[in-house]
Amino acid sequence: MTAVVDLKPFTADQAQLPATLELSGIAHSFGGFKVLTDVNFAVPQGRIVGLIGPNGSGKSTCFNIVSGFLRPKAGRVLLSGRDIAADSIQARTRHGLMRTFQTPKVFERMSVLENVMVGLHQQGRSGIIASMLRTPAARRELDQLRNTAEQACRKFGLDRLLDEQTGRLPAGLRRVVELARAYVGAPRLMLLDEPSSGLNTEEIEQLRGWIAMLNSEGMTILLVSHDMGLMTIADTVHALYFGEIIASGPMAAIRAHPRVREAYLGG
């Protein structure tokens, strides 16, 4: 049973917000081995929600079910009230769900600008023939998409690296490129998978700034991370242990929870 610990004062108001994401009765297993058992939680619109858990707790499975890499054995995944549990990854993208990965997924031989422009592929209207023939309409559209991508690069401090080959960038900058690419798609819900992995202290602090900026613009965020310091940015954190949520609340209360300390933080 979930232990709900000291929630923040605004949580009463938060409960009135429509849920951008809601997991209801999620269960999953591999070869008869139960990984998730009746997982239930919501990500309210405009909030940052964290998910923590040690290796083997089921958080990666849960994250992959939300993003469409896995289908649950039971339960519903609601995105803005619509059940997307059986939808493809592409369909989820069209409905406003974007994700990043623990190891940044970038097109290494493409430039920074080209990588970010990939995030705008859903917004293109010109057909493939018009694009190949470089018709005036297709050229105008391409210029508009490039301008949008350039604005995003400036927002994320990448404007001096537009023509740099992305594969030559250090890990921290590749992660920023991936974040900018997801951002230009204007998602309703951003899934961040271990975004601080491989980053140094300064880069993690900068990452906190990016996440806060995205949220201040109204973006809803589900954050998975082992970094307890980064998790303090979340409004609510859910702790998974052996496929079940054992505690929910702000990070300060989660840290102090006896079961969480035993399971995640070494007592």
Are the C-beta atoms of residues 141 and 125 closer than 8 Å to each other? yes
Taking each helix axis as running N to C, give the angle between helix 171-184 and helix 136-155, from 0 to 180 degrees, rounded to the nearest 10: 130
Count of structural domains within the chain = 2
Residues 87 and 139 in one domain: no
pLDDT for the residue numbered 257: 85
Q: Which residue type, as a one-letter code, is found at position 80?
A: S
Task: Based on the fold, state whether residues 127 and 201 are members of the same structural domain.
Answer: no
Q: Answer yes or no: are the C-beta atoms of 57 and 243 closer than 8 Å.
A: yes
Domain end, chosen from 136, 163, 186, is at: 186
The span from the CA of 188 to the CA of 185, in Å, is 9
CA–CA gap between residue 151 and residue 180 (Å, rounded): 10
Q: Determine the pLDDT at residue 6.
A: 31
Same domain? 22 vs 113: no
pLDDT value at residue 24: 95
- Output the pLDDT for position 10: 29
Residue at a domain's end among 152, 186, 220: 186
| pLDDT for res 84 | 93
The distance from CA 256 to its chain's CA centroid, rounded to whole angstroms, is 26
Maximum Cα interatomic distance, the chain, rounded to a whole number of Å? 65
Domain of 49, in residue numbers? 1-96+188-267
Of the candidates 164, 186, 208, which is a domain's last residue?
Answer: 186
- Say yes or no: 9 and 78 in one domain: yes
Do 114 and 55 have their domain in common?
no
Looking only at the bridges linking them, the beta strands covering 220-224 and 189-193 are parallel
Low-confidence ranges of the chain (pLDDT < 50): 1-16, 126-133, 267
